[in-house]
Amino acid sequence: MCGIVGYLGEQPAFPLIIKGLKRLEYRGYDSAGVAVIDTKGSLTHHRKKGKVDDLLAHVGDDVPTGHLGIGHTRWATHGPPNDVNAHPHLSGDGQLALIHNGIIENYHALKETLIARGHSFYSDTDTEVLVHLIAEVMKSSEELDLFEATRVALNEVVGAYAIAVVDIARPDELILARKSSPLVIGIGECEYFVASDATPIIEYTKNVVYLEDEEVARVSLSAGLKIRTIKNHRVTPVITELEMALESIEKGGYEHFMLKEIHEQPKSIADCLRGRLRLGHGTIRMAGIDDHESMWTEAKRLIIVACGTSWHAGLVAEYMFEDFVRIPVEVEYASEFRYRNPVLGEGDILIAISQSGETADTLAAIRMAKERGAHVFGICNVVGSSISRESDSGAYTHAGPEIGVASTKAFTAQLTVLALVAMRVGQLRGTMDPQQLNRLMVGLDGVPEKVEALLKKESDFKAIAEAYKAAPNALFLGRGYNFPVALEGALKLKEISYIHAEGYPAAEMKHGPIALIDENMPVFIVATQDAHYEKVLSNIQEVKARGGKIIAVVTAGDTEVARMADHTIEVLPAQDALVPILSTIPFQLLSYHIAVMLDRNVDQPRNLAKSVTVE
Ligand code: M6R
């Protein structure tokens, strides 16, 4: 949550920072601000409640000049979203400006100490405490410059931070630090870019340095990049080359990123399969598994941790691993798991699933699992993200940047990677016979084309969306592999349309939710021809008997459900384990169109952020 951007170089900083903030707005969008220092050492500072465009309107023609600047787009934690709590925050004497992504957990104790030393505060934020703390350390010893003072001050801090700090006395220097929140430094020709992820940097340079936990960096036009740990050990920067393409982070003619990302799914699934699915050889190649073969063949148990949509992918994987590998599997919310005292150790493999690779709870869960001796296998979309770097091994989903807050193509890519992992492990452990494996491989190979066919039915989705856009509530049902699809369908609808929706295993309906059904209740149900088909037909009858409206996702050619349902959406036939990759797409598109019809902010729904880097 929160996006941070910084620039030091020869170009005017302000336009670069604004452009970068717009790229990072998916991380938080309740207020935004900038601070720019010009060569004469004067600081211009603007902050505004609302989006980056509101900040721009507020700045108007009074555009700050200068070649050093920092900017922030906020997702509020401490204090409501308003102008005063927006970043950057200034030290009491106005000499330092600081932006922050994360939470300073001991801010209250630090604040009390600073107040006792004469500091006063204007905001409710933990960030303001941090900038005062650095100023206090600088004041306490004239020997300490901003870099050293930041390093020393961070030793007092408990919590998560990615920060950028500037000092009006040093218009040639930008200080950065991180712990548990991401920070990337782009290295150009006589210029440096800083951001929470690489998207604001990619059009200027491909050379980046990912700052590690508890590292503090100084970038200076005269002295270059220097990194030390907060304990004062020297670190040699490692430059990585970015592989991301600029087009992948633009809308490409679509009205919203979410729609673009839904339509990218045939390609993102194919990208995820490329080089891994080796049909000609009758095998699957996944370096993250093959390089640790004995660990997978000897593993006693799998524990899957994730949040939100990624957790739903984990639930689908539970069915896959049980079917293909015959191994015990537990699927846990990372936020619960990290605070339990789980029985965990050597012989366990913890699979962490995360699109962003930065979700604070998932990161904490993998750290706990590593401490207890489990092997951590990370499934992430963002290359170079914290979870991908801290995992012992893993696999990228290769879905490309996902900007819309509602996860779509990352989810289907997660399902695809998880199918590949389960199939490969089943192959290695001998729990899948070659024919079964081959059939599934052929099935997976055909998925992108089936998704393509589904996406051509856009007008059908719009008509159904029109019919149910005014519903105050909705129920999503599914069984077996499609139970998590029901959960995901409900999450999609509620997060972007703000319609209350519940996802349930279809058979659980009669244990409570059936009381909600009347003629105003749309029931979205996956009724594909799988192992549970007959049972789902009975569940549809139960809904119809109570007047509920049925919108069913069915296998192409099905006439039985069509006789009972108010609307059907056909998906092409696929093996049970692969159906979720298809059956989830109608729910993505229905949610999208309902949200558009209700005039919601589809890409940046209220109160949400793409990357949840606070717990
Ligand atoms: O980046 P992650 O996959 O770790 O994110 C997990 C959730 O925050 C995320 O899936 C969230 O639920 C999305 N808004 C769902 O669309």
Q: What share of the chain is helix, strand, coil (3-state, %, to 5)?
A: 40, 25, 35
Would you say the CATH fold of 457-603 matches that of 3-242?
Answer: no
Helix (H), strand (E) counts: the chain: 20, 27
CB–CB of 20/53 below 8 Å? no
State the closest ligand 1 atom to the C-alpha of 382, by its place in the atom list counted from 1.
Answer: 1
Q: Which fold has domain 252-453?
A: Rossmann fold (3.40.50)
pLDDT, one tens digit per residue, over 385-403 is 899 999 999 999 999 999 9
Q: Residue 578 CB: number of other CB atoms within 10 A? A: 21
- Look up tokens 């717990």; give the residue: 615
Predicted local distance difference test score (pLDDT) of residue 17: 97
Contact 35, 166 (CB under 8 A): yes
Q: What is the pTM of this model?
A: 0.85
Nearest protein CA to atom 9 of ligand 1, as residue: 308
Could you identify the residue written with the tokens 């066919």? 453
- Quick check: helix, strand or coil at residue 230? coil
Which helix (H) or strand (E) segment holds residue 374: the answer is none
Residue carrying structure tokens 């001050």:
153
310 lines ligand 1 (CB under 6 A): yes
How many Å lie between the centroid of ligand 1 and the Cα of residue 72? 21
Cross-strand bridge partners of residue 187: 192
Looking at residue 248, its pLDDT comes to: 80
pLDDT digits (tens, 9 = 90+) for 51-84: 999 999 999 998 999 999 999 999 888 888 999 9
pLDDT value, residue 349: 98
Would you tell me the crossing angle of helices 265-273 and 434-455 to the nearest 10 degrees? Answer: 160
Average pLDDT of each block of 10 consecutive residues along the chain (615 residues)? Answer: 94 97 89 92 94 95 94 90 95 96 94 96 95 95 90 96 96 95 94 95 95 96 96 96 83 92 97 94 94 96 98 98 97 95 94 96 96 97 91 96 95 98 97 94 98 92 96 97 98 97 94 91 96 93 94 96 96 97 98 97 90 78
3-242 maps to CATH 3.60.20.10: yes
Contact call for residues 293 and 284 (beta carbons, < 8 A): no
Mutate to test the pocket of ligand 1, among 493, 611, 612, 614 (most ligand atoms within 8 A of CB): 612
Alpha-carbon distances, residue 562 vs 169, 552, 583, 598 (angstroms): 73, 8, 16, 28
Return the structure tokens found at 346.
């050597």
Which residues are bridge partners to 474 per DSSP? 501
CB atoms within 10 A of CB 57: 11
- The strands making up 224-229's β-sheet, listed across from edge to edge, are 89-90, 96-101, 161-167, 173-179, 215-220, 224-229, 234-235
Indicate the length of the chain as a whole number: 615
CATH level 3 topology of 457-603: Rossmann fold (3.40.50)
Per DSSP, the three-state class of 613 is coil
Q: Is the CB of 268 under 6 A from ligand 1?
A: no
CA–CA distance, 149 with 295 (Å, rounded to integer)? 45
Quote the pLDDT of residue 495: 97
Distance CA 590, CA 228 (A): 50
Place of tokens 């922030």: 72
Q: How far is the CA of 310 from the centre of ligand 1 (A)?
A: 6
Q: What strands, in cross-sheet order, belong to the sheet with 522-527?
A: 500-505, 473-478, 522-527, 549-555, 567-571
Domain ranges of the chain: 3-242, 252-453, 457-603
The residue written with tokens 């949840």 in the block is 612
